[in-house]
């Protein structure tokens, strides 16, 4: 049944706003990784690289709690409804993010400080795990006929906006504050900004209606667990390239440029902003294109482009010859290629599961892929680069994951038994 335009738009905004806050915070954490490492994970006498590895370990831990959150909140969302669960997860995410901005550092609280930070990262991971499945379910279940790709793409688009918002705030603070001020207290401000943003998101979600698809599916028999599990595994494989390349180029890049290529904080942030602008510019067109050509062809194109271009791109950044303008265009293009996968991705996952298990199924597929290939990206890349001295490791990581995704996207109609109606 077609949805009223006002209800569809309201669902789109309410679903998107939580994603914005979630990825704004994850972006900020990545952009300030070197400062957080110094304040929480590097006691006196510890090396900077050890602190950075510990910071990324905390980063990865939050991602590994995402599947737990996806299973917990997904089960609730498939049983009691999308709306109440999305309200709960935005409250948890907002509270945890705001409290990070108020935490005592290692200099004040000693060894307790990193444990407090890690606990709040776990809470964020749990709530983020419940966010994606509910938000995409709401967006796609309220989408007008033939517009699932475009509506689902707004989830990825608000991810890009969140990362850009985090980068913009970081760049603004870096420009306004001295290095000592930024390290002493300026890094706290982006996390504290989550409070007013979260209150706005909560207000929007309190006005959200439950999806008609969920109401109609309340009496539907659930599909066999084996079919659902197979679809979750396939879905995770199809988006692992998006997860790995996205975090490599959009979040890990600033610390990599600083620690490996000796770029300044401002230079690293400019590169990240350009990559995220390219990412954002491609997402909605890719989602719209997938409504015409299909999800998999568009995503497959993006995955193969990363396989072909990841190493040349990184070599271009490493080489002193090309101008800054050329390097900027290359970074922008790298983000756009990731956007080809991110645009159709949410709708592709939503269409792999019927309404009765959609929140759980697509949430688990997404969170499992992100736990392994996004959450571990910073930790793995930093550790391997340090041990091997090979500066091409980020390119190999992104290209390898995209190669596997290309294979999964090329698989036929595996999981068809769980594909359902709206």
389: left (phi over 0), alpha (psi -120 to 50) or beta: left
Q: Identify the CATH number of the domain in which residue 301 sits.
A: 1.20.1250.20
Contacts of 119 (CB under 8 A, 6+ apart): none
Q: What is the predicted pLDDT for the residue at 418?
A: 41
Q: What is the predicted pLDDT for the residue at 297?
A: 95
Q: Which domain holds residue 81?
A: 5-418
Q: What is the predicted pLDDT for the residue at 412?
A: 64
Q: How far, CA to CA in Å, does 144 sit from each of 9, 287, 380?
A: 10, 14, 41
Low-confidence ranges of the chain (pLDDT < 50): 1, 45, 414-422
| pLDDT 10s digits, 169-214 | 888 888 888 888 888 899 899 999 999 999 999 999 999 888 888 8
d(CA 370, CA 63): 7
CA atoms within 13 A on the CB side of 387: 8
Taking the CA atoms of the chain, what radius of gyration do you get in angstroms?
20
**Residue 371 CA to its chain's centroid (Å):** 10
Total domains in the chain come to 1
Q: What is the predicted pLDDT for the residue at 3?
A: 54
Q: What is the predicted pLDDT for the residue at 415?
A: 45
């Amino acid at each position: 049944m077609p949805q009223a335009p006002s209800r569809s738009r309201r669902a789109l905004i309410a679903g998107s706003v939580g994603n914005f806050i979630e990825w704004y915070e994850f972006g900020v954490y990545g952009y300030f990784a070197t400062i957080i490492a110094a304040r929480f994970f590097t006691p006196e006498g510890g090396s900077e690289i050890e602190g950075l590895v510990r910071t990324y370990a905390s980063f990865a831990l939050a991602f590994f709690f995402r599947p737990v959150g996806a299973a917990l909140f997904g089960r609730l969302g498939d049983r009691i409804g999308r709306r109440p669960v999305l309200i709960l997860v935005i409250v948890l995410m907002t509270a945890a993010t705001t409290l990070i901005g108020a935490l005592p550092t290692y200099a004040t609280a000693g060894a307790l400080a990193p444990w407090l930070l890690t606990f709040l990262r776990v809470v964020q991971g749990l709530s983020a795990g419940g966010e994606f499945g509910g938000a995409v379910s709401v967006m796609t279940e309220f989408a007008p006929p033939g517009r699932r790709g475009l509506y689902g793409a707004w989830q990825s688009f608000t991810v890009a906006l969140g990362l850009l918002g985090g980068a913009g705030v970081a760049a603004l603070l870096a420009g306004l504050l001295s290095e000592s001020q930024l390290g002493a207290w300026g890094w706290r401000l982006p996390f504290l900004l989550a409070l007013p943003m979260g209150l706005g998101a909560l207000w929007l979600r309190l006005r959200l209606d439950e999806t008609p698809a969920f109401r109609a599916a309340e009496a539907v028999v659930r599909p066999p667990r084996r079919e659902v599990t197979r679809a979750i595994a396939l879905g995770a494989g199809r988006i692992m390239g998006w997860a790995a390349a996205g975090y490599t180029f959009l979040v890990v890049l600033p610390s990599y440029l600083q620690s490996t290529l000796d770029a300044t904080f401002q230079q690293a942030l400019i590169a990240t902003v350009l990559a995220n602008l390219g990412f954002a510019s491609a997402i909605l067109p890719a989602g719209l294109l997938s409504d015409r050509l299909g999800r998999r062809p568009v995503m497959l194109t993006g995955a193969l482009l990363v396989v072909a271009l990841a190493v040349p791109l990184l070599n271009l950044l490493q080489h002193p010859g090309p101008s800054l303008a050329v390097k900027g265009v290359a970074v922008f293009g790298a983000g756009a290629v990731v956007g080809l996968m991110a645009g159709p991705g949410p709708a592709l996952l939503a269409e792999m599961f019927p309404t009765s298990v959609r929140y759980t199924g697509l949430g688990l597929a997404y969170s499992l892929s992100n736990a392994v290939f996004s959450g571990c990206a910073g930790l793995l890349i930093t550790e391997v680069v340090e041990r091997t001295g090979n500066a091409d490791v980020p390119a190999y990581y992104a290209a390898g994951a995209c190669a596997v995704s290309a294979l999964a996207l090329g698989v036929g109609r595996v999981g068809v038994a769980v594909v359902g109606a709206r």
